[in-house]
Amino acid sequence: MSKLPRRILIVRLGAIGDVVNALVLANALRDHDPAVKIGWAVHELARPLVAGHPSVDCVHVLPRRGGLRGLAEWIADVRAQGYELAIDLQRILKSAWLARLSGATRVLAYDRRRCKELSWVLAAERIEEGPPHEHMVDQYLSFARALGVETPRARFALPFDPDTDATARARIAAHANGVVLLHVGATKSANRWPAERFGALAARLANEHGVASWFVGGPAEAPLGERALAEARGARGVENQVGSTSLPELWHLAAHARLVISADSGPMHVAAATGTRVLGLFGAADERRTGPYGDRHRVIRERPECAPCGRRTCPLVRHACMLDLTVERVFASASEMLCASPRP
């Protein structure tokens, strides 16, 4: 067994989907050497994903406020842990500086081509350049290989809370044919499927498969949930829960759902990490890099000439890559996955 540094700091501040996928690195390091101590630098929004995680020993939440004094206190707290190695998984100038200021004697980062904002200049050690279109999970695991872990496994795990899990189980057990979660939003508007189509899809799933269809999402996505619910036209079993579930509640619900349907988003990766089947709706995003990871999941998309473009917003008059993805096609794929997923 190769010897890892005794104390390692992972810098991956956000976003939710990126932090979820990056957790495979912490798991790979812990699986290789249970004695290694792992810290994580993170923003508050993604803190629930690492706080209480079995492979993360110390969580350092970067303050949004407090100015230079708050940053100085954060740096002092990090340095007090005595990290020997800092790993910059964010690949931007901000994360590069945090890794450098952590006090770690070594800083490991991406290769120059994949770094952004000249962040590569702050890292003395860099991993080798990976293949084009490599999935982000595999990119994170390449850091484990660079540290001597020969065959790191993509093992997902999320913090487990017995009470939250029991509540999720009870809520879903109340529906004889199970529950399908439909995440109606996405941070990047170019990744969003129309909310009205989620509504029509939920109604068909409820009417034809007898499942409960719940819209989920964050508080900022509340208008999308309302539009989706209106389009469902009172179909029995369709509920709008957008904004009413915390992040931990979401992943405990997802763990017991029969299927999760989502565009490329943080909640999509959260659901995939639970092991529940995920149907990903892709357009602007490249599913080879950011699709739900694993063989249990499925991605469907249309392919206009401009896709995948990777843009945050679509510059065209008609957002073809998502608008061409019909309710009928998504329903057909969801139906096949439901047939492959046993009833509760």
Q: pTM for this one?
A: 0.94
For the ranges 77-86, 176-185, 317-326, which has the lowest average pLDDT?
A: 317-326
CATH topology of domain 7-146: Rossmann fold (3.40.50)
Q: Could you tell me the CA-to-CA distances from 270 to 72, 97, 98, 255 in Å, in that order? A: 32, 28, 26, 9
Same fold, 7-146 and 163-340: yes
Average pLDDT of the chain to the nearest whole number = 93
Q: Can you tell me the mean pLDDT for 164-188?
A: 96
pLDDT tens for each residue of 258-273: 999 999 999 999 999 9
Q: What is the 3-state secondary structure (H, E, C) of the chain?
A: CCCCCCEEEEECCCCHHHHHHHHHHHHHHHHHCCCCEEEEEECHHHHHHHCCCCCCCEEEECCCCCHHHHHHHHHHHHHCCCCCEEEECCCCHHHHHHHHHCCCCEEEECCHHHCCCCHHHHCCEECCCCCCCCCHHHHHHHHHHHCCCCCCCCCCCCCCCHHHHHHHHHHHHCCCCCEEEEECCCCCHHHCCCHHHHHHHHHHHHHHHCCEEEEECCHHHHHHHHHHHHHHCCCCCEEECCCCCCHHHHHHHHHHCCEEEEECCHHHHHHHHHCCCEEEEECCCCHHHHCCCCCCCEEEECCCCCCCCCCCCCCCCCCHHHHCCCHHHHHHHHHHHHHHCCCC
Give the architecture-level CATH label for domain 163-340.
3-Layer(aba) Sandwich (3.40)
Domain range summary for the chain, segments of one domain joined by +: 7-146, 163-340
The Cα–Cα gap between 262 and 274 comes to 14
CB atoms within 10 A of CB 29: 23
pLDDT tens for each residue of 96-139: 999 999 999 999 998 877 777 677 667 778 888 888 889 999 99
pLDDT tens for each residue of 30-80: 999 999 999 999 999 999 999 999 999 999 999 988 788 999 999 999 999
Tokens of 151: 């065959």
The yes-or-no verdict on residue 344 having pLDDT over 80 is no
